[in-house]
Amino acid sequence: MENPTMLASGIMGETGGSLLAMAKGGAGALVTKSIGSVPRQGHKNPTLVELEYGYLNAMGLPNPGIEAFAEEMREASKAGIPIVGSIFGSSAEEFASLARRMQEYGAEAVELNLSCPHAKGYGMEMGVDPEVVANIIREVKAAVVVPVFAKLTPNTHRLIDVAKAAEDAGVDAIVAINTLKAMRIDVDARMPVLSNRYGGLSGPAVRGVGVRCVYELFEALKIPVIGVGGIEDWRSALEYMMAGAVAVQIGSGVGRVGTQVFGDVCSGISAYMAENGFRDITQLVGVAHD
Ligand code: DHB
């Protein structure tokens, strides 16, 4: 990667065209929307609520299915930067077969969505159990040669157990965090705002949780950690890197700040490095630890 910023999964990652636009904004790598075996419509609206401090969403894992996604990957590859294929499944076999397809499509890594906070039978339901996670990772690692990332949920007291099980099973990196399970109620309608009732909270509201998770993961693991959650400027990106992240992902920040967020974060970090006498970004990774 030419810089440590990546587009996070879930936003602007459904089509080749939207992925290309994120590359233009300066991202160093692009993570696709999570793709499953068959096309899914997702939930009916409302699926997204904008809050003062982030977003609350329950899209319902809408995606065109792995077959149709070949075309989007072909288009996205014109960006000339690494594409990470995010996938979700309900079994280790399904994850492995999706990973194989993403590798065939030219993905330079796969990211396993083990952390969607509200989809029945997917995501967090599997991602809070260390044994289930280890089993999925073993199957995927046996199926592909590209690096495998596990995107984990903060909605558990077992994050470190899950991450260690993932590491022992051979995962190449941990991505932390996915959204926090959350809810909003419309007091006039006297009902939940989201059609799915529960959703995932993202944006600056979750940054303190994300930074804490990355800090703890850095202390517990040997493999790299990629930080995500509420990053929208160079300071918040550096917070994650100083906690121990080797790279950062930006999702909600694209919606809140604009597609230029990647380039802006990178120039801010470069200026900080010049002012403080750092020549290599890796010198800053984990510096907040004693
Ligand atoms: C969805 C998936 C996620 O992984 C998440 O954190 C939030 C929402 C979804 O598609 O609904």
pLDDT band at 144 (very low <50, low <70, confident <90, very high): very high
> pLDDT tens for residues 242-261?
999 999 999 999 999 999 99
Q: Ligand 1 centroid vs 90 CA: distance in angstroms?
A: 15
Give the model's pLDDT for residue 87.
98
> pLDDT tens for residues 196-237?
999 999 999 999 999 999 999 999 999 999 999 999 999 999
Tell me what the pLDDT averaged over the chain comes to: 98
Give the model's pLDDT for residue 135.
98
Least confident of 19-23, 119-123, 148-152: 119-123
179 pocket-lining for ligand 1 (C-beta < 6 Å): yes
Q: Residue 242 corresponds to which tokens in the numbers above?
A: 């100083």
Give the model's pLDDT for residue 283.
97
Name the percent of the chain lying above pLDDT 90: 99
Which residues are tagged catalytic? 116
Give the model's pLDDT for residue 290.
86
Q: What is the DSSP string of 101-145?
A: HHHHTT-SEEEEE---SS-TTSTHHHHT-HHHHHHHHHHHHHH-S
Kindly report the protein residue whose alpha carbon is nearest to atom 8 of ligand 1.
58
Give the model's pLDDT for residue 220.
98
With b for 16 or more beta-carbon neighbours within 10 A and e for fewer, the 5-39 pattern comes to: bbbbbbbbbbbbebbbbbbebbbbbbbbbbbbbee
Kindly report the protein residue whose alpha carbon is nearest to atom 2 of ligand 1.
116
pLDDT band at 21 (very low <50, low <70, confident <90, very high): very high
pLDDT at 264 over 90: yes
Distance CA 236, CA 248 (A): 10
- In a mutational test of the pocket of ligand 1, which residue from 43, 49, 118 has the highest number of ligand atoms less than 8 Å from its CB? 118
Beta-bridge partner residues of 55 = 50, 202
Q: Ligand 1 centroid vs 86 CA: distance in angstroms?
A: 12
Q: Ligand 1 centroid vs 281 CA: distance in angstroms?
A: 31
123 pocket-lining for ligand 1 (C-beta < 6 Å): yes
